[in-house]
A and B are shown apart, each in its own frame.
Chain A
Amino acid sequence: MRRADGSGSRPITFYDLVKYPFIKEALDYFRSKNLTLDDLESDVGRKILNRSYERIHEAISQRKVTTDLSEDPEIEVLSFPISLLLLSILENRSLIYRYAVAESKRVGELLKNEDLDKLIWIAKNTFKWRVNLVEEELGDERRPLVIIHFIDYISHIPQSSKEWKLINKRLVKGYVFIGKGELARMLEEAVKKYIIRKCSERVMISDLPNIIVAFIERISREWSQYVREIESLRIIPKDVIGDIYPPCIKKLLEDLKSGKNLPHAARFALATFLLNIGMSVEEVIELFKATPDFNERIARYQVEHLAGLRGSRIKYSPYKCSNMRSLGLCVDLNGKLCKGIHHPLQYYFRIIGGKRSGAKQAH
């Protein structure tokens, strides 16, 4: 195998800073501008702040962020770190999560179309991953392959599914073999984690300029209005979940609520479980509204299908425990919480049954 690592000439242009304002080169550019908080009250500063607000606003209202190329590219680059600043002043975990998912989705879409060289450059220089391009000789042919250190790999697995499990990867001397699409997807995950980490850092600013305060109040208002709307739709009281749902389903519900993107198998497991314990199609769809890529038409079709209202008219059952295990969805592999349980529904009905008989005894 021959190594052709990404340490060659820099494949980054100014346009890349606009698309990927989180990369090292973009942050260096931001730092070189020496912006102060007072600068944000100038005309250019207002433009930057306004664009920062738009990024967050779009994440709240549309669950996405659009790359804006119509405006001054410089403002586009500088608005990203200012968005992070606004979010860290706000200190709202779920809003941070919402923004991180939306912004990283935008990045993920763009990364898919980049050359491998650029992906490796970003992985190495921005995220300090141990990643390399290698060529494997297959007879006369040479096939490019990406290898990444397994610690970097397992720290950025975007979803729990069979395909991503380390055990199903070729792993030699600490390096995992992955494809280009997987590298792009992992970078998306890394951007999400970076945003969450950055926004969770405490910022100490004694004297916030009025204009920043105004923007922060505006975002805060929008978010709390959104939360109120969602909460009125929420069906399951939080304290009940802890009691009656098996740990795997509880985890999936938590992931769903925090806006994580669940893989197909996870959605299937969760939706069929909820339908089987008597939740209506409408109620299930409402819950799935929290997913970053929610599309009501598709969701409705799928949930109705699972409920047996369409197609084969078969009501689907959730996976049994052994399948949950293989799919990487089981969170109680040692059976500490699920002693003697073979099926998630069994857990639920056992607890419900126990509660009922307990109640009877009390009377």
Chain B
Amino acid sequence: MVQNKLIEKFFEKYYKNHADDIVSPIRIEKREFGFMFFSKHIMHRHISFKNSLELRDYVRRTIPAHAYYSSAYYVNPSAPTMDEKGWEGADLVFDIDVDHIETPCKEDHDLWKCLECGASGKGMSPSKCPKCGSEKIERDTWICELCIEAAKEEALKVCDVLLDELGFSSKDLYLVFSGHRGFHIHVEEEDVIGIDQDARREIVDYLLGIGLDLTTLGYFKRKIVLDIDLREEGWRGRVARGLYDILLNCDEKLLRKLGLRSRDIKYILSNRERIISEIERVPSNWLSLSSISAKSLERLVNHAVKLAACKVDERVTIDVKRLIRLPGTLHGKTGFKVLKLSYNELESFSINDAFVFDMNVNVVVQSQRFPKRVANYGFSKRKGIVEVPLPIGIYLIGNSKEVKILKIV
């Protein structure tokens, strides 16, 4: 609680001078807002504001730990039930979260522990305990610059599909750094606002690669191995390029992991040059892959599909009544700023763009365990007492109960 009070103090100071940074969503009077506070663990929902002045004043007065607004537009956004609210439409939102992306840096900063049998490990947490199968897993997870880079890559991939394949223009969409583990992509184009959940599911399935029928790739149809050109647009082209990348860069270890037959692995590795040059032809020729078994080819294609898929959280896109982070506010677990970015700004984004507290102020923190690296900061010691810059200190105490700030230097 004391540590919470400390964060609240910093937030208060910040909002006093920077509440005007809060981005007022378009048609603010039709949006529902929700807030969580440092003192209580419940969400205050069904709040609405007439204009941005009211919203900023509210934040300045109440110092929320977390601030959200609805991607939906309502007739009566502050009504307590959905029926009374009167849904009119919703922005199209995609959520990219490092939780869903495998990154090697997780080994450096993440731990998991099974609360049933006590098994534990480093790195990406399993969804259930590999030892006893329990789903009660305690996780100690952090983000570092590498995580943010991975999430950025994924966000750019989603943007490319939205622009090149779905035909949106870059001015119809913007991105938001969520203040913690990823990015949101918002599309506010007039045409998408009214579409229903089924249509949104169709879009998200398109991104995730769900329901892809291999025969549309010309997969083993009429004695042709595959009927796709490397330069083709859309999903087919992405799968072709994924397959090309696999064949170009694979080693025995990867092919074994994918479950290819030994004979096929040997064939691919010893004929790689020829296979690659044939695929590079215009149009691509996949004929030399006809020597490998159907099963092996299918496994290769499936892996290419996995590479071509965008790892978005489908629930966020399909749920048209969800609350989402409000740009310009602070994230209560990290102290980072929820930052609105244009498509062109994403490329150059780095985590310190979201720091709002003074880098030149240091704090002394104590913990039984420090990760190797969090945000852009590497720890020299793995436990005990260290001095860190203020933004890192706030992140440490916000994200872990184990860490205490002892004093501000």
Contacts and interface: CB of A to CB of B under 8 A. Distances in A.
B210 A172 contact: no
Contact of B195 (A151, A171, A172, A326): A151
A168 B210 contact: no
A167 B167 contact: no
Contacts of A352: none
A327 B213 CA distance: 9
B130 interface: no
B202 A157 contact: yes
Contacts of A154: 195, 198-199, 202-203
Nearest to B208: A333
Contacts of B203: 154, 166
B336 interface: no
A326 B165 CA distance: 22
Contact of A162 (B195, B209, B211, B235): B211
Interface string B190-232: 0110011011001101101111110010000000000000000
Interface string A160-184: 0010011110111111000000000
A173 B167 contact: yes
Contact of B202 (A165, A172, A327, A336): A165
Contacts, number: 79
Contacts of B281: none
Contact of A333 (B135, B192, B210): B210
B188 interface: no
A17 B236 CA distance: 42
A334 B167 contact: no
B315 interface: yes
Interface of A: 149-151, 154-155, 157, 162, 165-168, 170-175, 325-328, 333-334, 336, 339
A325 B233 contact: no
**Which 5 A-B pairs rank lowest in CB-CB distance, beginning with the nearest?**
A174-B167, A154-B199, A173-B167, A154-B202, A165-B211
A176 to B, nearest CB: 10
Given A157-B202, A166-B203, A172-B233, A150 B211 contact: no
Interface of B is mostly: helix
B314 A334 contact: yes
Contacts of A326: 210-213
A133 B212 CA distance: 26
A92 B208 CA distance: 39
A150 B167 contact: yes
Contacts of B195: 151, 154-155
B314 to A, nearest CB: 6
Contacts of B205: 165-167, 328, 333
B195 to A, nearest CB: 6
A209 B174 CA distance: 55
Interface in B337-365: none
Q: Which of B168, B191, B192 has the most chain A CB atoms inside 10 A of its CB?
A: B191
A151 B199 contact: yes
Contact of A175 (B167, B198, B216): B167
A162 B59 CA distance: 48
Contacts of B208: 333
A151 B199 CA distance: 8
Given A165-B211, A167-B205, A333-B210, A172 B199 contact: no
B138 interface: no
B6 to A, nearest CB: 36
Given A168-B213, A325-B211, 5 more contacts: A149-B167, A155-B199, A325-B210, A326-B210, A334-B315
Q: Which of A151, A167, A339 has the most chain B CB atoms inside 10 A of its CB?
A: A167
B126 interface: no
A172 B165 contact: yes
